[in-house]
Chains A and B, each alone.
Chain A
Amino acid sequence: MNILIVEDSKVLRSSLADGLAKLGYAVDAVATGGEGLDFARLREYDTIILDLMLPDRDGLSVLKELRDSGKLTHVLILSARGNVEDRVQGLQLGADDYMIKPFSFEELCARIASLTRRKYQMKNPEVKVGKIRINTAVREVFDGDGNIMHLTPGEYSILEVLVLNRGRVLTLDKLMDAVHNCDSTPGPNVVKVMVCNLRKRLANAGEEDLIRTKRGTGYYITRESL
Chain B
Amino acid sequence: MKSIRTDIQRWLIIAMAAIALAGAILSLIIYSIVYTHQIDSELELRARLLSKTISRQGHGIRIGIDDSDLKRISDIGCDAVYQIWLSDGSVLAKSAKLGRENLPTSFSSIRPVFKNIVLKDIGSARYICLAITPRIALPSDSSLGEDYCSIPPEVSTAGPYVFLGLAQERQWYSSFMLLCIAIRFVMILVLLSLVVSWLSKCIDKSFIPFAELNDQLLQLNSLDLNQKIEIDNIPEELVPAVSALNKFTENIQKSFSREKRFVNDVAHELRTPVAELRLACEVGAQWSDDPVLVRKRFEELRQTSLSMESLVSSLLALRRAERDKVVLTEKTVYLYQFIDKCWGRLIQISNPLGLVLENTVDDSAVITTDDEKLEIILQNLFGNALSYASYESLVKVSLKDNNNGYCTLTISNEAPNMKKDDVTHIFERFWRGSKSSSDGSHSGLGMSIVKQLAEVLGTELSADLSDDETFSISIKFPPGLDPTVRVNRRV
Contact = CB atoms under 8 A, between A and B. Distances in A.
A8 to B, nearest CB: 4
Interface in B414-456: 432, 434-435, 437-440
A224 interface: no
A204 interface: no
Interface string A54-85: 01100000000000000000000000111000
Contacts of A106: 282
A53 interface: yes
For the side of the interface on B, what is the size category?
20 to 34
A16 B275 CA distance: 11
A80 B279 CA distance: 14
A19 B438 contact: no
B271 A80 contact: yes
B296 A55 contact: no
A81 B287 contact: no
Interface residues of A, number: 26
A12 B283 contact: no
Contacts of B70: none
Contacts of A11: 276, 279-280, 300, 303-304, 440
Contacts, number: 85
Contact of A10 (B268, B293, B432, B439): B439
Contact of B438 (A10, A15, A103): A10
Given A11-B303, A15-B280, A22-B287, A31 B438 contact: yes
Given A14-B300, A101-B275, A81 B268 contact: yes
Given A14-B296, A18-B296, A32 B272 contact: no
6 contacts: A15-B279, A22-B287, A32-B438, A80-B272, A82-B271, A105-B286
Interface of A: 8-12, 14-16, 18-19, 22, 31-32, 53, 55-56, 80-82, 100-106
Given A11-B276, A11-B304, A32-B438, 16 more contacts: A9-B272, A11-B279, A11-B280, A11-B303, A18-B293, A18-B296, A19-B282, A19-B283, A19-B286, A19-B287, A53-B437, A101-B274, A102-B271, A102-B275, A103-B275, A104-B282
Interface of B: 268-269, 271-272, 274-280, 282-283, 286-287, 290, 293, 296-297, 300, 303-304, 432, 434-435, 437-440
